[in-house]
């Protein structure tokens, strides 16, 4: 049985999001139930407070968000990451088959990905950001580090 100590960072974040979502749903249900059972004078007072709060919080709905220097750097980093991200699929697999996300790490076509779902005896293709499909060669798959290294085949023909 898995304990909370066995969860990795991603699983902890997802668990936190799930708990926050369930809590917000429960809070909404309880609030709606309590308001439905409350006397009319109480609900009128709450509605007046909410209306006045909305009027003061949103006086100008056309305000624009200005990106800070850190926001711009983050946006640039995300755009760079997208340009080197590839989708790795088993060769001949249906498009509904789950794919693996890989990152191009060198100009000579090395791609690093997780070993989750990798079958060492299978052949793989990568779907590049340009939507081109290229053949891959699995160079190494290390279960210990959860890392797979692929290389775009030299003779790989690009299928558009």
Give the residue ranges of the chain where pLDDT is below 50. 156, 158-160
Closest CA to 157 of 126, 113, 129, 118: 126
Residue 136 parent element (H or E): strand 133-142
Q: SS3 letters for 104-127?
A: ECCCCCEEEECCCCCCCCCCEEEE
Which structure tokens are listed for 152? 């775009």
Cα 76 to Cα 67, 79, 118: the distances in Å are 12, 5, 31
In the block, residue with structure tokens 């709606």: 32
For residue 160, the model assigns a pLDDT of 43
Instruction: Reduce the DSSP state of residue 131 to 3 states and report it.
Output: coil
Domain range annotation of the chain: 4-57, 85-152
How many distinct helices (H) and strands (E) make up the chain? 3, 6
Which residues lie below 8 Å from residue 100, measured CB to CB, with a gap of 6+?
87, 88, 89, 113, 114, 116, 117, 118, 148
What is the 8-class DSSP label of residue 4? G
Query: CA neighbours within 13 Å on the CB side: how many for 98?
Result: 4
Give, in words, the CATH class of 85-152: mainly beta
Residue 150 parent element (H or E): strand 147-152
**Does the model's pTM come out above 0.75?**
no
């Amino acid at each position: 049985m898995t304990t909370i100590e066995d969860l990795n960072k991603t699983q902890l974040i997802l668990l936190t999001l799930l708990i926050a979502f369930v809590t917000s749903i429960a809070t909404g249900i309880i609030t709606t139930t309590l308001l439905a059972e409350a006397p009319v004078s109480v609900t009128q007072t709450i509605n007046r407070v909410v209306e006045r709060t909305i009027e003061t919080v949103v006086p100008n709905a056309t305000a624009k968000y200005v990106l800070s220097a850190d926001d711009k750097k983050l946006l640039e980093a995300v755009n760079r990451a997208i340009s080197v991200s590839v989708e790795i699929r088993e060769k001949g697999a249906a498009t509904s088959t789950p794919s693996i996300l890989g990152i191009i790490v060198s100009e000579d076509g090395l791609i690093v990905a997780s070993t989750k779902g990798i079958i060492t005896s299978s052949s793989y293709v990568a779907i590049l950001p340009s939507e081109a499909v290229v053949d891959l060669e699995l160079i190494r798959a290390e279960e210990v580090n959860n890392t797979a290294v692929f290389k775009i085949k030299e003779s790989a023909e690009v299928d558009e």
